[in-house]
Structure 1
Amino acid sequence: MEFSTLFNDLRSKFNEEVTSKLETWLDTLISMLPEMVMALLVLIVFYVIGKLVRQAVHKLLSKATMNKTVIDLLETIVGIMIISIGIFIALSVLNLDGAVTSLLAGAGIVGLALGFAFQDIASNFISGIILTLRHPFGIGDIIETNDIYGTVRKLNLRNTILQTPQGQIVYIPNKMVFENPLSNFTDERQRRIDLSCGVSYAEDLEQVRQLAIEAIEELENYDSDKDILFFFDEFGGSSINFKVCFWVNFRRNSDFLTPRSDAIMALKKKFDENDITIPFPIRTLDFGIRGGEKLDSMLKGTAPAEENGADS
């Protein structure tokens, strides 16, 4: 009997407590109904604004870059930022300023920790965005950076991907590409070939200059709108060295390699036809203790001594 009475009392108190809580929550809900409606409207408005801003960002970035990955990522970041602002304002409307402060503090701490943990990834990510917006090179361009020469195959948010003339695929972190010198060989669609050679000291240098220029002028794949440049460089060990320079239209590596090969063959042929010598390196060997003695004189000097030794 006592147990039944105790159980009934506990159930009654529980029901009263639950009913009291529900009534309190209902009263609070009714009192906060205008604020909740206002907060919901704020979220809807910011959602619409975020959608419109994302569309505007997409159009703007599409004019600056063709990298769809970067465009989609920046769109998403802008959209999340606008929605986040809407959420914070909605919480403020609901008088939940403490929750807003806690969220901001937590986001700052998390962002700081992630920044230290993934600073290399973040650097490559930001460098990739800057490279995409500044557009110093495009897909298919031939560039050289960090002592690596090749054709750009892809630019993602972490790496710049090149294919070397030998066919290897090289992944270069965007940070290294952004911070180091970069040469774009296809940006101007032209490239100069500097061809070095040497002739004998006995040759007529004026004739050499004329023949070299004529050899280049006979090529089919050089830019005739630009002058052919010819310079004598130095008095070499066995030749007088010169350099002949001419321009070619450049889209791919063969546009450079083929004219250079043709120029070497044309220059050699032109010099052979006119008895112009491209000398081999010459080396003079000195014999004897003090030097200055030739091999034949050394052999003559030692021959009698060997004969005397044989006779004895």
Structure 2
Amino acid sequence: MKDQLDSAFSNLSEKLLGWLDAIIQNLPNLALAIIVLISAYFIAKYVNKFVYKIVSRKVQQESISSIVARISAVMVVLLGLFLALGILDLSKTLTSLLTGAGVIGLVIGLALQGTLSNTIAGVVISFRKKIQIGNWVETNGYSGEIIDINLKDFTLKEADNNMVVIPNKMILENPLKNYSLTTKMRVFLECGVGYESDLEQVEQLTKETISNAFDQVESPDDVEFYYTEFGGSSINYLCRFWIDADSMLEKLKAKTKAIIEIKKAYDKEDINIPFPIRTLQFDNQLTLDNSNTVEESFSKN
């Protein structure tokens, strides 16, 4: 028993002495590795602030700027860690870390596939110059002003003040119409007048009314007017003109104003805007002689 204890103590002493010799031999490399790690930490802090300032100039969303800056800082720290392991000649450990990181990244990616896709889509959308907070857009069947773009979703404020939250992935994968990219919008107005109306007078009056109602329309010639069909109760037309607007709400207000002014002008000139009327007419006269029917039934009996 004593011999076994002495042997074990001897083996332990040899191991400790071997580790001590290895530490002494690799002391310069260890010191250099520690210096690399400390340097990577301070460089990461500087990179975090620098990247945040750069991204903030391009992106209005603070959450996007923060996540991009943090990712940059983490990449610097990981680079310093790998350099330190390489200095210590721990190639096997470095390979194991890379393999483990790949497996863990794959597992996390599969588990959080939807979340990660929305996060990446949010970063991509935030760097698009044609999509900015305050723009009036239409996408995925909704129309409104962009209120917020973060790492999860895309928030719209509709004209009726309702908030619509859409996942970033759907914004990136579907068409988006941005009304704020142009300073002009075209207003479409459809109406009809009675068959007894003077069509040339209606056209001229409509153009003059719209020209007088909107400063952007310099003359009646700038208003497009086309008769489209002989309707069931009216002759219908299409009227188009341009206004200075960058949101759908301004377009709706302009269309409302045009309808009001045209109705006033038509009433003043006794121009009729008919509506469908259904007339039920019974020309055939049905006569039932109940008395004869009763007499015949009695005579048979």
TM-score, normalised on structure 1? 0.83
Q: Distance in 2 between matches of 1:127 and 1:135?
A: 14
Match of 1:237? 232
Residue 283 (structure 1) aligned to one of 264, 278, 286: 278
Aligned counterparts, 1:1-312, within 5 A: 16=10, 18-220=12-214, 223-224=216-217, 227-250=222-245, 254-283=249-278, 285=280, 294-295=281-282, 297-299=283-285, 302=286
Q: Distance in 1 between matches of 2:292 and 2:250?
A: 70
Q: Distance in 1 between matches of 2:230 and 2:124?
A: 48
| Structure 2 residue identity aligned to 1:62 | S
| Structure 2 residue identity aligned to 1:129 | V
Q: What's the secondary structure of 1:165's corresponding residue?
A: coil
| Structure 1 residue identity aligned to 2:233 | S
Give the RMSD, CA atoms, in angstroms: 2.8
Q: Distance in 2 between matches of 1:254 and 1:29?
A: 73
Q: What's the secondary structure of 2:131's corresponding residue?
A: coil
Q: What's the secondary structure of 1:193's corresponding residue?
A: strand
| Structure 1 residue identity aligned to 2:166 | I
Q: How far does residue 14 in structure 1 lie from its aligned partner after superposition?
A: 6.4
Q: How far does residue 46 in structure 1 lie from its aligned partner after superposition?
A: 3.3
Instruction: Count matched residues.
Output: 293
| Structure 2 residue identity aligned to 1:199 | V
Q: Which runs of 5+ in 2 are unaligned?
A: 296-301
Q: How far does residue 232 in structure 1 lie from its aligned partner after superposition?
A: 1.7
Q: Which segment is superposed worse, 204-213 or 18-27?
A: 18-27
Q: Give the % identical residues.
A: 37
| Structure 1 residue identity aligned to 2:91 | D
Q: How far does residue 10 in structure 1 lie from its aligned partner after superposition?
A: 7.6
Q: Distance in 2 between matches of 1:254 and 1:88?
A: 56
| Structure 1 residue identity aligned to 2:101 | A
| Structure 2 residue identity aligned to 1:298 | N
Q: What's the secondary structure of 1:218's corresponding residue?
A: helix
Q: What's the secondary structure of 1:275's corresponding residue?
A: coil
TM-score, normalised on structure 2? 0.86
